[in-house]
Every structure is written in C-alpha cells, then in structure tokens.
Amino acid sequence: MKHVCMVFFSFIVLGTSLKAQLSLPIYEPFSSTPLGTLAPQNTWTGPTAAGLGAQVVDSALTYPGLFSVPSSYALRVGNQPSGAIQQLIFTGQTSKTYASFLIRIGVYPPAVGNATYYFTFGNVSTASGCMYVIPNADGTTFELGFNGAATVPTPANTTNQRFTLGATIMVVMAYTPGATGAGTVSAWVNPASANLGAAATEPTPTFADIAGGTVANLTNIFVRSGSNTRPMIIDEIRIAKTWGTVTSSVTVLPVSITDLKLSTKENVSTLSWNSASESNFDKYVVLYSTNGADFKEVGSVKGTGSNSNYAFNYTHSGQAYFKLKLVDKDGSFVYSKILQTNGRTLSITVGPNPVADRLLVSGLPDGTNTAILYTLSGVTLQAQTVKGANLTMLLSAYPAGTYLLKISNNGVHVHTATIVK
C-alpha cells in the first residue's frame, strides 16, 4: 500500500476503548458504533435512553475528493422534544481549531431562532462558533448560517445558494478562541475537491472571522437535536489544528470489501464478505461483542487476494454484535460497520450431579462439540467430541472428588461445570 495512508491513520479514529477526553486530531466516521442512541458510545455524552438524542443510522455520506470509511454509518440529529445535546470532549484548545463534516437535510427546517444551531464548538455547555439551518421563503430550499455567538446569523453570514433537500453538503469551520465576544469563526461551504487534502492550500473562507464567540478555551463540539430542529444526517466528522488534516483526501485503503453479511442458525453466526481489492494486505480480524460497545477478538482470516470470498463462523448465545478490523501489512487498519444478530440462548445441561457412573451432557449447539474433564489441578482425564446435541461420559473409574468439565463448540468455549463424584 502507498504510504499516503499515513495522512489518514494519524487521526484518532474513534472506537470503544477510548477515554472520556480525546487528543486532536479526531476522526469520527461512525464505523465502530452500533445502530441506535449515540451516547455513551465513543465517548459522546448526552441522552442514553433508547430513541433519545442523536441516533446512529444505517446511512453514509460521501463527498468528492474526501476520504470516507467504507461500510460505515452516520448520525441523525434533530427533531427531539427537548434539548438533547451530544458533546464530543477533547483536550482544551486555546488557538485556532478546525472541524469538518458532511450534512444532508431531508426535511424542510423550521424558522430559525437564537440557540437553534445544529453544530457548534464550545466549552462544556457554552456554545461559540455555531452553524444554523435557515429556511427560505420558497418553502422548499434552505441556507446555512454561521455566527460566533449562539444567536441568529445575519444575512451577511448566510449562504445564498438555495440548497435543495437531500443534497450532501461539506462544511469546514474554524474557531479562534477568545473571551467576551472576541472569539471568531470562519466557515467554508462545499470547498472544491482541489482544495482538499494534506498538501492543499487553505482557500478563502465563504465567511471569514465572524465575531461574537465567548469561549477562550475550546473543549468540545456539540450536535443538537432539540426544539426548532428537523432531522439532519451528519457524517465524517474531523477535528484538528490544520486545514489539511480535516480535509484529508486519502483514498487508498488496505482493502476494499463488499457484501458484508451476517446470518445465524441456532447458535452459529456466519460473517461473510468479498474483497473487491487487496494491496499489501494482511488479515481480517473478527471482533465480537454482547452489548455493541465492548468488543473482543474471536479470530482472524488471512487475506488471499482481490476478488476473494470469505466466511467466519462463531458460536454464541443470545444477542451478538460483529465487526471486522481490516489490517494492512504495515499495521494500519480500519473498521467495518457493526452487524447485529440474535442466536438461540444456550441451555446446556449436565447431570446427574453429583454423579456415580454416567454423566449425560445435553442441549449442545449445532456443530462440533468437545467436552473435556479435568482435575482441579488441570490434569486432563477424558475428552469426547460429538456432532450431536448429547454425549455421555463414563466416570466410574475415577475416585470420589470434584472435577471440572469444559465444553467447546467449533473450538469456542461455551460452557463450564463443576462435577462432584
């Protein structure tokens, strides 16, 4: 792979293992978040109950010349009955800081008012450097407006482009901290593709140095879903200190995959995908979670070349989430989107217990099941492998005592029982 990828991979790509405060640069493509309420995923704050606040949805936005993660999701904000503010918190910034993102408005916006912004920089709950969505009088198109303070933008700081509903718009904002109204915000709307990327020259802003900001120490961005908003899709959020970093135009990835699917039969889930291209690619790491937030590695598949078909089976009980970590030979990686499924809850029974002679194990899942009997010190006494739902172990040759039985399915541990004889 070409090492232009270093531009992209220098970002902190948000994932579930990060702490509550992030360092710049930050990249949030919503590629490692399950569908549903955003908070508290990926360190976002805000309402956590189902259906409240910003929602991760099965959508994705792209913009010519801007790198985006394949098979990722996006965020829907707006149209909530009350405040519903989500914050992404980072280390304090006292100098000019940039944010870029893609938006798509699908519903005609309501009349604009003070503090009815959709996106803003800030410090805790104080907003400075705000973006508004403003309806036009024609009842079908809208404009974007910007202000240093959380007040209605002036006509001079409002676009005159008559954006249509459903259009994807790229926005870049830069806030220069300052107290008591000295903070300023500049904004670029739909910058040309030639002006995107690490080596690109920062173009003239659409709106430059709009005053009114009161935040001298920048600590977070907000997205807002409260009153006087309508649904808006936002995606590909970047926060950094330079124009080039927040407009990265990198398009080379270790691999391009298609047809990522998840199917489940009984307790065995099959994750399948195709590789459209692989260049200096190493492996696919399969990650599994029971709650959509805490993932662990459960296996990996070596890349075999472009236009290859892959599948990975995993046995589990109940609800499960899966995603792929696509790893290049130089160690760089990206994540796929998250897929969710429900398997049959395992009900393995072992008895009688205490046992005198024959120990019956029943309720085993589909696939290859292996039961191993150990002493408490870890010495293996007996192992049996079956492909059915039941097996019987003879224990008459063993002295009275306590033993440990471990059961695996297709090589994955699924059950442990303490046996008394």
Residue whose pair of structure tokens reads 């205490």 in the numeric block: 354
19 pLDDT exceeds 50?
Answer: no
d(CA 73, CA 287): 17
Structure-model confidence comparison of residues 325 and 253, the more confident one = 325
Residue whose pair of structure tokens reads 């399950």 in the numeric block: 34
The average pLDDT across 277-289 equals 88
Domains and CATH numbers, the chain: 5-246 (2.60.120.560), 255-342 (2.60.40.10), 349-420 (2.60.40)
The average pLDDT across 143-156 equals 95
% of the chain surpassing 90 pLDDT: 53
The average pLDDT across 358-382 equals 92
The average pLDDT across 382-387 equals 94
pLDDT-wise least confident of 37-51, 178-192, 262-276, 381-395: 37-51
CA distances from 56 to 37, 71, 139, 300, 337 (A): 6, 13, 28, 27, 11
pLDDT-wise least confident of 114-118, 219-223, 236-240: 114-118
Residue 164 CB coordination number (10 Å)? 10
The average pLDDT across 112-140 equals 93
Q: What's the pLDDT at 168?
A: 96
Most confidently modeled range among 148-157, 228-237, 405-414: 148-157
State residue 355 phi and psi, 5-degree precision. Answer: -125, 145
Residues sharing a CB contact under 8 Å with residue 156, sequence separation 6 or more, in sequence order: none
**Could you tell me the pTM of the whole model?**
0.63
Residue 421 CB coordination number (10 Å)? 16
